[in-house]
A and B are shown apart, each in its own frame.
Chain A
């Protein structure tokens, strides 16, 4: 028992992950619809983004409502490097990730001294501030945004004309890498420390856990992952503007799949994205555009129903141990 139970669970997670990877690799092949293929690409992107958010918000318990900032930094850095200097986005995304990590550290440095909800509010305000700055900053074309011109088909530049399938594999690779990062963190000293910080900071520090640096490390990794996602998104859509890559609604969209799926779990963000992103996109295309916001009402209602029915996150449907939510609910 004991260590065997943990090791067995971790091995099982790897096997399920590998099977899922194969299924997702084959999934788009029989699908003809461009719309549906695009939907899956977005779902994969948000699964990765939300898993990235989960590293800080789920494992370490620091709820960020400003992850759009890191996403935007990644999107803008890679795009500007590509458009003005011709540096390939496959390289630029790492620059974007690094800058996003740096931004997460700069936000964390003053804000992790705040407790509880104040951190969430601070991240929200800071990201909104940068939305305004970006909207008026001429160097990045202000609110007009930047269109990424098509040059030549290339994996190095992540340019595929109108083909969606290559982006399916790009995003799948992204999710897989983020998932593996989360898997490693779960089994490592860092992962244990971050969860301890989330559960009870005073007890954690009595066991030798450095609270502040734990939060900073989680923020840096989470920010980097989000920044890379922003760069990939920019190449996929080929157009970015402050509203689409720095807006509050994006911050919420990044956090929601993890929250609905199950915070602090390996599978929660994936399951959450698989449910939420299609519902959001489909309801928007069926009901949206009429100007009455019916799609948002349905989307909002769904989230309320899910939160009421499965407060521990959708992962609990599968009998997967849900960490944070589970304990909170059962304690009540």
Chain B
């Protein structure tokens, strides 16, 4: 088996005595789409913050291509090839759409012209080229999600973390998002996504990791995971697991 692109080993993180993640370990294979699922409060976003370097785990380590990235900080994580989007969209609202994506492109490119060309290409890839010169705050919510992806892709990540990218979208919009995620993967980018919308998520992902109360409950193919009694219990309560 080839070396996994990302390895989590016993990652734990608490916030003021509340354990957000406890001993979470799993591997992510290069090129796969991994779904990170679990009920509210399961520790998904917290784990994302650890992987993207926004916070440092208290214990355990995270390796990207065999190199330790836990605790090095968000900037170093971006430099080593991790891109992310946020659960609540964070666009740079004083800038145009193109300028937003240029900020990402500057992670690897120094000159404005190169950054501009890269940003343009990413916007075309994400289907936002017609909105290029708009102020970012004028975009519709689904367009803003695309903007976040374009911006993260402009940093040229190997691994992209998508935090509830499809949540709150209409079914049509969500289908557009699914197609975009498939296109991103086709470019060779590995994807980890947190999502609540199971009917959209399950057909899209190769594998799922289920978190519950900060711990890893199980992992496996989408089909295995949804049949797992522990998962059903975590989501729906004991009553349904027994049925």
Contact = CB atoms under 8 A, between A and B. Distances in A.
Nearest to B89: A203
Contacts of A5: 96, 98, 132-133
Contacts of B113: 3
B151 A207 contact: yes
A207 B54 CA distance: 11
A1 B107 contact: no
Contacts of B36: none
A329 to B, nearest CB: 10
Contacts of B115: 189, 192
Residue with the greatest number of chain A CB neighbours at <10 A, chosen from B84, B93, B107: B93
Interface stretch (B73-81, B203-211, B218-226): B73-81
Given A2-B116, A192-B102, A203 B86 contact: yes
Interface string B77-99: 01100011010001111111011
A330 B137 contact: yes
B129 A2 contact: yes
Interface residues of B, number: 43
Contacts of A187: 112
Contact of A199 (B54, B78, B92, B154): B92
Contacts, number: 114
A207 B107 contact: yes
A207 B99 CA distance: 13
Interface in A1-34: 1-3, 5-6
Interface residues of A, number: 33
A323 B95 contact: yes
Contacts of A209: 75, 103
A3 B113 CA distance: 8
Contacts of B94: 195, 198-199, 264, 323-324, 326-327
Given A1-B132, A6-B116, A196-B92, A327 B137 contact: yes
Contacts of B110: 189
B78 A206 contact: yes
Given A203-B92, A204-B103, A206-B54, A188 B75 contact: no
B44 interface: no
Contacts of A210: 75
B103 A192 contact: yes
Contacts of A1: 129, 132-133
A330 B134 CA distance: 13
Given A189-B110, A328-B93, 14 more contacts: A3-B113, A5-B133, A6-B96, A193-B103, A196-B103, A200-B91, A202-B54, A203-B86, A207-B154, A208-B74, A208-B75, A208-B78, A330-B135, A331-B93
29 contacts: A2-B129, A3-B98, A3-B116, A5-B132, A6-B116, A188-B112, A189-B106, A192-B95, A192-B103, A195-B99, A195-B103, A196-B92, A199-B93, A199-B94, A200-B91, A203-B86, A203-B91, A204-B92, A205-B73, A205-B75, A206-B52, A206-B86, A207-B78, A207-B104, A207-B155, A208-B75, A208-B155, A210-B75, A327-B94
Name the 3 nearest CB pairs between A and B, nearest first. A208-B107, A208-B78, A203-B90
